[in-house]
Amino acid sequence: MRIILMGPPGAGKGTQAKVVAERLSIPAISTGDIFRANVSDGTPLGVEAQRYMDAGEYVPDEVTNAMVRDRIAEADARGGFLLDGYPRTVAQVHELDTMLEATGDSVDAVVVLTVDGDEVVQRLLQRAETEGRADDTEDVIRHRQEVYAEQTAPLVEVYGDRGLVREVDGMGEVDEVSERIFAVLDRDGTGAR
Ligand code: B4P
């Protein structure tokens, strides 16, 4: 199974990615987590990514694409994976297509978490208190929402035209949202339930 998890910042992507990937026994690959690990290790990639992330901007496509290309080539991802936060631009969609075509693979489903704008801001402000992420200040959160609307929301139509989009209500308790995701994936024959 090759699944993409999409949704605006704070929709619950990272939260749900872990649960769904575990259920399907595939790795959850989060570009945000990989960038943050590089930032905390002080790698050249981390230094480059940090200035974009702190400002709520996307890291340049060529940097992100190269990172994902390497990650999905690893042994644990050969049988499938769940991408959390990638692709986020139309150029990234095309790059992912090329990567998958090279191995004769394709995306099976794109789960889009839908949420209320004010709720996500509250979730992220709450996370700011517990985790202190540099990009979880109110101004940067609002900017991240704008960047999502401009650059990532159009991807729903791109994947919708391919018949891959499964919209899931991301409001409510974490467990409820997970159950909804399992239900839609089950209809795709994943045996998630
Ligand atoms: P991400 O790490 O993907 O950050 P995010 O969009 O805020 O999502 P996240 O997964 O953290 O939050 P979630 O919705 O799970 O990206 C960070 C940055 O990395 C980007 O801004 C960009 O700079 C860079 N980047 C990443 N991918 C990139 C790409 N492909 N191209 C270019 N740049 C890229 O959860 C938010 C909070 O809500 C959590 O605290 C959680 O506990 C809470 N929550 C979740 N579900 C809930 C529920 N049902 N009820 C209440 N709270 C809930």
Integer angstrom CA distances of residue 106 from 2, 5, 183: 7, 15, 21
CB of 159 within 6 A of ligand 1: the answer is no
Distance (Å) of CA 185 to CA 6, 10, 82, 167, 190: 14, 21, 12, 11, 6
Res. 155: pLDDT tops 90: yes
Inter-residue contact 72 to 3 (CB < 8 Å): no
Does the pLDDT value for residue 12 go beyond 90?
Answer: yes
Centre of ligand 1 from the C-alpha of residue 13, in Å = 6
The lowest-confidence range among 38-52, 107-121, 178-192 is: 178-192
Homologous superfamily in CATH for domain 2-188: P-loop containing nucleotide triphosphate hydrolases (3.40.50.300)
**Tokens at 112, concatenated:** 């889009």
Report DSSP state, residue 57. P
What are the pLDDT digits (tens) for 108-135? 999 999 999 889 999 999 999 999 999 9
C-beta of residue 109 within 8 angstroms of C-beta of residue 79: no
Q: Max alpha carbon distance in the chain (Å)?
A: 44
Question: CB under 8 Å to 109, separation ≥6 — which residues?
Answer: 1, 3, 4, 164, 166, 184, 185, 188, 190
148 pLDDT tier (thresholds 50, 70, 90):
very high
Q: In the prediction, which pLDDT does 182 show?
A: 96
12 Cα: distance to centroid of ligand 1 (angstroms): 7
**Model confidence band, residue 193 (pLDDT cutoffs 50, 70, 90):** low
Q: Ligand 1 centre and the CA of 57: distance in Å?
A: 13
Sign of the alpha-carbon torsion through 117, 121, 178, 84: positive
Q: What is the mean pLDDT of residues 27-46?
A: 97
Q: Which of 5, 13, 137, when mutated, tests ligand 1's pocket best, judged by the most ligand atoms within 8 Å of its CB? A: 13
Ligand 1 atom closest to the Cα of residue 13 is 15
Which protein residue's CA is at the shortest distance from atom 37 of ligand 1?
A: 10
Find the angle CA(37)-CA(40)-CA(46) to the nearest 5 degrees: 70
User: Which one is catalytic: 18, 69, 127, 166?
Assistant: 127
- d(C-alpha 111, C-alpha 171), whole Å: 14
Strand-strand pairing, 2-6 and 81-84: parallel
**Tokens (6 digits) for 77:** 């991802």
Of 83, 49, 51, nearest to 64 by C-alpha is 49
